Copies of this chain bind each other. A is one copy, B any other.
Amino acid sequence: MPPPSAPTPKATYHHGDLRTALLEAAVVALREGGIAGLSLRDCARRVGVSHAAPYRHFASKDLLLAAIAGQGFAWLAAAGRAAMAGQRDPQARLDAYGQAYVRFAVAHPEHFRVMFTAQIADCTEADQEVADAAFGLLRDAVAAVQAASPDAAIPDADTAAVAYWSRPHGLAMLLLDGRVPPEAWDTPQKLAALVHAALG
């Protein structure tokens, strides 16, 4: 019988849901040591499992990161949809997406950083799809605004979408990289004002 004093008593040989547990452990590890400090063996140790067990669920370290990225994109799209659901005006919907975008980044910094650091080539097709879905959501919102107010200043819908996306994305990156003093966004109000200013 295994030593009964372990934090996870290791009652069973099989873990039960190792994949999920590894993803959660990886996020904690990312929070503590950043992407460079992440190691599969450390994740395995945190979960109380041998150093090669993760390979039954992730073919490589990069694919673990890709899975985290995919999860993040799914959450981001869900957050964006939820935020837009409360708005009717196209412009208001777009701004709601931008606010949700930055709020997501601040709430899940590890996910966000992995989402935009992992090399896309290494991603699964499924992960690629959820990422594209999150962007498609924004492109549609931008297109709706363009349709509502025919400025004709920006003809290309994709260009307009990228241009708008740049704003919350850049702000989120600057916040996460510590380029903005924390006291400038330590309350939801301050953060919302900052996002509002960035969205323009």
- Is there contact, CB below 8 Å, between B163 and A200? yes
**Interface members, chain A 93-109 (any B CB < 8 Å):** none
- Is there contact, CB below 8 Å, between A120 and B197? no
| Chain A, interface residues (CB within 8 Å), range | 35 or more
Within the complex, the shortest CB–CB distance from A168 to chain B, in Å, comes to 7
Residues of B within 8 A of A92 (CB): none
Partner of A162, one of B34, B166, B180: B180
The CA-CA distance from A169 to B135 in the complex, in Å, is: 18
Interface with B: A48-56, A83-91, A153-161, which one? A153-161
- Is there contact, CB below 8 Å, between B34 and A177? no
- Is there contact, CB below 8 Å, between B166 and A171? yes
The CA-CA distance from A89 to B169 in the complex, in Å, is: 28
> By DSSP majority rule, is chain A's interface helix, strand, loop, or mixed?
helix
Residues of B within 8 A of A197 (CB): 154, 159-160, 162-163
**Interface members, chain A 21-54 (any B CB < 8 Å):** 34-36
For A153, the closest partner residue in chain B by CB is: B197
Question: Is A78 an interface position by the 8 A CB rule?
Answer: no
- Is there contact, CB below 8 Å, between A171 and B173? no
- Is there contact, CB below 8 Å, between B162 and A171? yes
Question: Is A9 an interface position by the 8 A CB rule?
Answer: no
- Is there contact, CB below 8 Å, between B179 and A170? no
**Interface members, chain A 112-158 (any B CB < 8 Å):** 116-117, 119-120, 135, 154, 158
- Is there contact, CB below 8 Å, between A166 and B167? yes
- Is there contact, CB below 8 Å, between B119 and A194? no
- Is there contact, CB below 8 Å, between B162 and A174? yes
Task: List 9 interface pairs A-B (beta carbons < 8 Å), by A numbering.
Answer: A35-B36, A116-B173, A120-B178, A135-B179, A159-B194, A166-B167, A166-B170, A167-B167, A167-B170
Nearest 8 pairs of A and B residues by beta carbon: A170-B170, A166-B170, A163-B197, A169-B170, A166-B171, A163-B198, A166-B198, A200-B200
